[in-house]
Structures are given as structure tokens and as C-alpha cells.
Structure 1
């Protein structure tokens, strides 16, 4: 029990030093993928795939916004 508590405290402490992650699209995709994966017995695989797909879609939307926001070259 002490090892588990010490490991948890260490993990939480080290998580504070991690850099900020870009989670745009990932969280929503992970939730949807986790639910869909749970229906077929692969919750974590669904969440991972949903995160990747959500991140991809967020990047694509951002590229589209950037392309329309910049004036056309002369």
C-alpha cells in the first residue's frame, strides 16, 4: 500500500513538470472514441484512435482558418 501511495505521489509530482499539451480536438475525440470502443470491448483503443482523429480534424480546421484569414498575394 505504501508503494502505491508513493508511486501516485511521485507521478503527480512529475506531472507538474510536464509541458503544456495541445489537447484541441483530442479530448472530445477521445470521449467519443472511448464510448464507441466500449460498445465493442476496446475502450482504450477507441479513445486513442478518437484522440488522433480529433487532433487531425482540429489541425485541418486551423489550416483552413489560417488560409482564409490571410490576404491573397498580389
Structure 2
């Protein structure tokens, strides 16, 4: 029961963080949910999985945003034909 309580508390905090800073939390919520589920099935480590998933999700979202920005810059620098 204690593990469920911790997971619920962590997810509540993540949702609150996501609502207050949506731009900064990109990828965190989805990663936390996926990581939490994976951690739960991998030995009842939902909280650890949620935290890890949040970090990985945020990293991937940041990387994707950077790649999109670079593609837009390349498109803007290409001469029109």
C-alpha cells in the first residue's frame, strides 16, 4: 500500500508540475506514466520508473525540439526556386 501511495503522490506532483510549466515539462508526464508502468511490472519499482521515465521523456522532447528548430533554420536558409 505504501508503494501505491508514493506512486500516487509522485504522479500528482508531476501533473501539477506539468500544469504549471507546460513548456518545461514537455515529455515528462508521458515518460513518467510509461516508466511508472514499466517499473511496476519490473519488480514493483513504479516510483523509480516514473522518475526515470520523466527524465528520459524530457530529454527526448528537448532533443526533438532542437532538431525541429534546426530543420526550420535549414529551410529558411535554402534559396527559393
Shared fold by TM > 0.5? Answer: yes
* Larger proportion of helix: 2
1:66 equivalent in structure 2:
69
Residue of 35, 39, 52 corresponding to 1:49: 52
Look up the SS of the partner of 2:65 in the other structure.
Answer: helix
Look up the SS of the partner of 1:55 in the other structure.
Answer: helix
RMSD: 2.2
Residues 12-43 of structure 1: CA distance to partner in whole angstroms, max 9, x if unpaired? Answer: xxx8xxx6352110000000000000112111
Aligned length: 57
2:26 equivalent in structure 1:
24
Look up the SS of the partner of 1:23 in the other structure.
Answer: coil
* Structure 1: unaligned runs, 5 residues or longer: 1-14
Decide which structure has the larger Cα Rg and report it: 1
- The TM-score, its normalising length taken from structure 2, stands at 0.62
Structure 1 runs, 4 residues or longer, greater than 6 Å off: none
